[in-house]
Structure 1
Amino acid sequence: MKKLQTVLLLLLSISIISGCTDKEKFIVYGSPQNEEELKAVLKEEDYVEKTTVIQHDDKMLVTVQIKPWDKWKKAKLEKKLQKKFDELYPDKEVFVSADYKIYYEANKVKKDGLEDEEISDKIKELKKLAKEEA
């Protein structure tokens, strides 16, 4: 009986731990036209910890969280990603931000379930907010 309790406790602990670490690292919200390509590009960059991408028509907002060790060169990495996305999507208006507040607000867009027009307005608002903080 004691062994059964120990095994059950161990299994419960493992399931809780694995459930906590299974969060999405790459979230693409809006038009899903190039979702896999975006995920592949972001996974190539080893300094990116988590990201949220919001797409609507010809606008794209890419927010990233940089791994702690690389945070001191956040601006340089942000520019590198911006250049990469500008080359990949010359027909889109892409904005890349490594600011946590912008990342947080972008994740709220997904939770709030905004509609198309509201998504476009939110992208403009977040870009303006990011430029004010810079």
Structure 2
Amino acid sequence: MMLPIVVCMALLSGCTEKEKFIVYGPPQNEEEVEAVLKEEKFVERTTVIQYDDKMLVAVQFKPWDKWKKAKLEKKLQKKFDEKYPNKEVFVSADYKIFYEANKIKKDQLEDNKLTDKISELKKLAQEET
């Protein structure tokens, strides 16, 4: 009698959701950035890296919205440029950029290495487009 309940509990606990919106760097406007991203229904997961006066926004779209990837990426870029005119914001929906941004967060790079790595990622994104 207890076995079905235990199995259900195990399955439900395994279905917990991972973090969808990760902001790495100084927490000065973390809630604002998260709010901007949550407004958009097409955003599934993001990793945002803030450093100096720059921001890298790596985004993953929901499956049906991936067909409009370039259009949605431009929409987010425009939204962030309007919201943060004093910051240099780079938005990318490329999975490689998203993966590398998560790796940066995990490794917690120092400022000088972080700037170099972000520059490298921007070049990579520009090559693929």
TM-score (norm 2): 0.95
| Residue number in structure 2 paired with 1:124 | 119
Q: Which runs of 5+ in 2 are unaligned?
A: none
Partner Cα distance (1:25, 1:109) in 2: 16
Residue 14 (structure 1) aligned to one of 12, 15, 18: 12
| Residue number in structure 2 paired with 1:109 | 104
Matched to 2:92, the amino acid is S
Partner Cα distance (1:17, 1:47) in 2: 21
Residue 38 of structure 1 deviates from its aligned partner by 0.3
2:28 aligns to what SS in structure 1?
Answer: coil
| Residue number in structure 2 paired with 1:75 | 70
Equivalences for 1:2-81 in 2 at 5 Å? 3-18=1-16, 22-81=17-76
Matched to 2:15, the amino acid is I
Matched to 1:58, the amino acid is D
Residue 9 of structure 1 deviates from its aligned partner by 2.4
- The alignment yields a C-alpha RMSD, in angstroms, of 1.0
Residue 54 of structure 1 deviates from its aligned partner by 0.5
1:34 aligns to what SS in structure 2?
Answer: helix
Larger Rg: 1
Residue 10 of structure 1 deviates from its aligned partner by 2.3
Partner Cα distance (2:4, 2:66) in 1: 42
